[in-house]
Structure 1
Amino acid sequence: MLTSATPVAAPVLSTRRRWAALAVLAAAVLLLAVDGTVLSLAVPALTASLAPTAEQVLWIGDVYSLTLAGLLVLMGNLADRFGRKRVLLIGSVAFGAASLLAAFAPSAPALIGARLLLGVAGATLMPSTLSLIRNIFTDSGERTRAIAIWSTAFGAGSAVGPLVGGFLLEHFWWGSVFLINVPVMVLVVTSGLLLLPESRDPRPGRFDVLSAVLSMAAVVPLVYAVKHVVGAGVDGVTVSCLLVGLTAGVLFVRRQRRLEQPMLDVELFGNPAFLGAVVANVIAIFALVGMLFFFSQYLQFARGFGPLQAGLAELPATLASIVVVVIIASVVARLGRGRAIALGLGLAAAGLAAVAAAAHAPYLWLGLALVPIGLGIGLAMTLTGDAIISAAPPRKAGSVSAITETANELGVVLGIAVLGSLLSLVYRHAVNVPAGLPAADAARVRDSLGSALQVLPPQAVAGARDAFITGVQVTSSLAAALTLGAAVLAWVLIPSPRPPRP
């Protein structure tokens, strides 16, 4: 059992070492973001090699996110309890080892097992990186810039993942998309041992097994229900998962309120500013990931871009998000946190509306529309993350960081599920199936634009592309409306005190 002699927080580090430590943490989160985007590109190649069933293909993709989402709260608590540096380094070693297992998996069940282990390891990395930032950067201004860099690394990883994956799959076998994790994790472990300070909660209290079980029982069924409804619609499985998840969630909250040392301080959600930051964070990720999901398909299927060209076409959003690191201090100084978050979400909403308007226009206008999206989402993600982890004392940084990561994961799942489903629905309603097409081919036309392009006669391709573009316009408009609503919420709920000028 840990004693009160254990230090509460990390020792004060020199400026150089603080930013060098941040580089280690940013490398870890960048790799996680890359790893989350490359698998979809590898599915055709691994399908040819391992011959998985359709259900196994779904589990290869889903088991990682289900495990990651279900364990975030638990792993954040363990990081507070046993040491954030220790948990991060153990998780990094485990992530590298699981990547090797995935890269050389001889069968689909083996790959599913390796992906499950990757989810367990990933759940140790995400809250540990953010909680270490909370303890390393004690100055609020420095911490905001550090979180901006952390957020940029996450966004950059999501953007370059398809580029890296496309390059590797053109030159190597499918397992290479997992093998790239190993050298990066070796670098994270070796540099982390030297640069990262240790910090933990000196008064962790008794570990509550039931709280850990309830946290997983609440999150995993809810995430699975969202994923399941996309492919199968609302059925008995969906309803059952929702009931189990909601029941476990209610029991988890009731237990946390009764415990003297709760795993998660649920009373934080009674603070309107904290709740507003969490909701704004979910919607920011929802809009970003949902947009990237359908935008990549739009560029390749509707505009005829290749995978590498499509990846490069999405870079304006990434480059704009990097600018956040430079401007964030002055924006917060002028507007305050709440209004700055609202500004970021408002910019993103304008960019999403511009994407809808420019769907038929030359790429130049689309590229320009991506700039306010990257800038706005980067600003909002940074400041909502800062607001969430600043709401609790440093000794609870791991647990409260898990809230940020769970919100991120929920935003990812909902963004792909809701916006992806809406895009498919509008496309199927708008597409015109040519008369005389065989029934099997007609079904493929209605299924997706990618399938339609393989079976449609040349003269019918333009109509299918127009139907898909209509779906993109509707989806972008909905994302813009939701993001604008989140901007209003942030403006009303999150305070905007201006930091004192030096």
Structure 2
Amino acid sequence: MTTMTPTRAGRREWVGLAVLALPTFLVSLDVFVLILALPKLSQSLGADSTQQLWIMDVYGFMIAGFMVTMGTLGDRIGRRKLLLIGATAFGLASVLAAFSTSALMLIAARALLGIAGATLAPSTLALISNLFTDTRQRSLAIGIWAGCFTVGAIVGPMVGGVLLEHFWWGSVFLLGVPAMVLLLVVGPKLLPEYRNENAGRLDLVSVALSLVTILPAVYGIKELAREGVHVVPVASLLIGLSFGVVFVRRQRILQDPLIDLTLFRARAFTTAIGGMCAFTMLGGTTMLFVAQFFQIVLELSPVGAALALLPGMLASTISFLGAPILARRIRPATLIATGLAGAIAGFLLLTQVEAGAGPVIPSIAFAITCLCGGPLITLGTDLVVGSVPPEKAGSAASLSQTGNEFGYALGIATVGTLGNAVTRSRLADAVPAHDAFASGMHAVSGLAALVLAAVAYFVLRHLRHI
């Protein structure tokens, strides 16, 4: 009896990965350049505070709402085909955003960018699983893919600053157009097509249910974090959860569901998605508090705060690339759990940072959490994609990315609310404002350390065979 061994990728596949890295990099870049452009475009278009929030948030809402649908759609019509359609739409929407003449037009363009962006992450990740069938090479490829997100976060503010200094605000939206054109030209030549021939028809009722589940839920969570407990965000969250129950029930009876719920029976799949969601929830919220600590407590400028966060971003990139290489000698479960132990140490170090401290210690502590969280993100993503049949890789990739979107929003709404509550409580006790905010950051960091200890336990328990 002979066994088939995975074919090792050659030069063509690695060049194909470089092509797939382009949209991944640009999706991240698009978020961070807008933060810098918002003041100028708001003044130019006369956007009020509510419109500014929608300009920022509608992109993330659309990505979260459509990612599950797009991941499953790619499995059905072809992952390369969906990627190229999405790249075309992203390029056109970028031009529309750049030349918007009103705030409402820009909001609509950002919504289209979000829908187009929802096709890119699951398509690129699923295509990586097709290009790299060798486990070690696939892990490294996913590490490079994940590293592009942090590279975009590093490069985005710098490139955006240069463009805004020399050109009009719309120039930041045109950054992605040449790259999308390049993807459309070389993608058909370098990227393989893959579709599940037995996937069945796309259930449009499930698509609608997924949208009315995710969009109201994400909106409700974000508004609860921003405005506190009010009727509209609570009602929105309850509506999303109610439709979510209907959605899950429908998936259980369909022959060709939008989401195959049986995927969650695999411990590796469920543990990896749950762990990454938890880390995104805690890490994203902590990053927000650390960034505010630099500006509010240490009174650094926005550029100074960005520079203080830069070591963490660089550490993430190094970790994403290094974790797959270390996993060749160390069992992934052990490597992930050890990394989480290091991240816990970084969070605990943040709990010791006082208001009078300089930027060095909090910057180092944040970098430690980023460096040590890398194995969970890179190897966890590989576990999610690698633990499902090839025909369901797109669906699995979309679930992984949607979990991250939900994790960040949920973290801001819950963990962030806890931190703000601690800050307000300390202020009520007549504690100086800087010390009160530091206490809020301590609470967030301490909770992150506690929850990640539980995640490390489940990783060792459920992934010990990996």
Q: Report the TM-score when normalising by structure 1.
A: 0.85
The answer on 1:110 being equivalent to 2:111 is no
Q: Distance in 2 between matches of 1:326 and 1:238?
A: 39
Q: Distance in 1 between matches of 2:162 and 2:305?
A: 13
Q: Decide whether aligned partners of structure 1 residues 405 and 192 sit closer, same or farther in structure 2, where only a CA change above 3 A counts.
A: same
Q: Distance in 1 between matches of 2:427 and 2:242?
A: 41
Shift of 1:307: 3.0
Q: Distance in 2 between matches of 1:107 and 1:30?
A: 28
User: 2:136 touches 2:328 (CA, 8 Å); kept in 1?
Assistant: no
Structure 1, 274-283 or 334-343: larger mean CA deviation: 334-343
Q: Which runs of 4+ in 1 moved over 6 A?
A: none
The answer on 1:219 being equivalent to 2:214 is yes
Q: Distance in 1 between matches of 2:196 and 2:99?
A: 39
2:439 to 460, 470, 474: 470
**What's the RMSD between the two structures over aligned residues?**
2.4
Q: Distance in 1 between matches of 2:234 and 2:290?
A: 31
Shift of 1:321: 2.5
Shift of 1:241: 2.0
In the alignment, which residue of structure 2 is the partner of 1:486? 455
Structure 1, 354-363 or 191-200: larger mean CA deviation: 354-363
The answer on 1:341 being equivalent to 2:310 is no
Contiguous gaps of at least 5 residues in structure 1:
1-10, 435-461, 498-502
Shift of 1:96: 1.4
In the alignment, which residue of structure 1 is the partner of 2:3? none
Q: Distance in 2 between matches of 1:42 and 1:419?
A: 28
Q: Decide whether aligned partners of structure 1 residues 160 and 354 sit closer, same or farther in structure 2, where only a CA change above 3 A counts.
A: farther
In the alignment, which residue of structure 2 is the partner of 1:252? 247
Q: Distance in 2 between matches of 1:145 and 1:77?
A: 25
Shift of 1:118: 0.6
Aligned residues: 460
User: 1:12 touches 1:136 (CA, 8 Å); kept in 2?
Assistant: no
Q: Decide whether aligned partners of structure 1 residues 240 and 362 sit closer, same or farther in structure 2, where only a CA change above 3 A counts.
A: closer
Instruction: Give the fraction of aligned pairs with identical amino acids, expressed as a percent.
Output: 43
Shift of 1:20: 1.2
* Within-5 A mapping of 1:352-367: 352-359=347-354, 360-367=356-363
In the alignment, which residue of structure 2 is the partner of 1:303? 298
User: 1:321 touches 1:379 (CA, 8 Å); kept in 2?
Assistant: no
Q: Decide whether aligned partners of structure 1 residues 217 and 261 sit closer, same or farther in structure 2, where only a CA change above 3 A counts.
A: same
Q: Decide whether aligned partners of structure 1 residues 280 and 335 sit closer, same or farther in structure 2, where only a CA change above 3 A counts.
A: same
Q: Which amino acid aligns with 1:428?
A: R
Q: Distance in 2 between matches of 1:35 and 1:361?
A: 33
1:138 to 133, 141, 166: 133
Q: Decide whether aligned partners of structure 1 residues 353 and 157 sit closer, same or farther in structure 2, where only a CA change above 3 A counts.
A: farther
In the alignment, which residue of structure 2 is the partner of 1:312? 307
Q: Which amino acid aligns with 2:405?
A: E
Q: Distance in 1 between matches of 2:387 and 2:425?
A: 46
Q: Decide whether aligned partners of structure 1 residues 48 and 431 sit closer, same or farther in structure 2, where only a CA change above 3 A counts.
A: farther
Q: Distance in 2 between matches of 1:134 and 1:201?
A: 14
Q: Report the TM-score when normalising by structure 2.
A: 0.91
In the alignment, which residue of structure 1 is the partner of 2:200? 205
Shift of 1:16: 0.9
2:407 to 407, 411, 415: 411
Q: Distance in 2 between matches of 1:162 and 1:92?
A: 23
Q: Distance in 2 between matches of 1:52 and 1:75?
A: 31
In the alignment, which residue of structure 2 is the partner of 1:393? 389
Q: Deviations over 1:261-300 (max 9, x none)?
A: 2221111223333221111010122233223323222223
Q: Decide whether aligned partners of structure 1 residues 300 and 162 sit closer, same or farther in structure 2, where only a CA change above 3 A counts.
A: farther
Structure 1, 424-433 or 30-39: larger mean CA deviation: 424-433
Shift of 1:42: 2.7
Structure 1, 324-333 or 296-305: larger mean CA deviation: 324-333
Q: Decide whether aligned partners of structure 1 residues 14 and 321 sit closer, same or farther in structure 2, where only a CA change above 3 A counts.
A: same
In the alignment, which residue of structure 2 is the partner of 1:377? 373
2:163 to 151, 168, 184: 168
1:24 to 12, 16, 19: 19
User: 1:159 touches 1:314 (CA, 8 Å); kept in 2?
Assistant: no
Q: Deviations over 1:15-43 (max 9, x none)?
A: 11111111122221121112223323333
Q: Distance in 2 between matches of 1:306 and 1:331?
A: 38
Q: Distance in 1 between matches of 2:77 and 2:114?
A: 20
3-state SS of the aligned residue for 1:201?
Answer: coil
User: 1:163 touches 1:311 (CA, 8 Å); kept in 2?
Assistant: no
Shift of 1:199: 1.2
User: 2:271 touches 2:459 (CA, 8 Å); kept in 1?
Assistant: yes
1:286 to 274, 281, 289: 281
Q: Distance in 2 between matches of 1:13 and 1:273?
A: 24
User: 2:268 touches 2:387 (CA, 8 Å); kept in 1?
Assistant: no
3-state SS of the aligned residue for 2:357?
Answer: coil
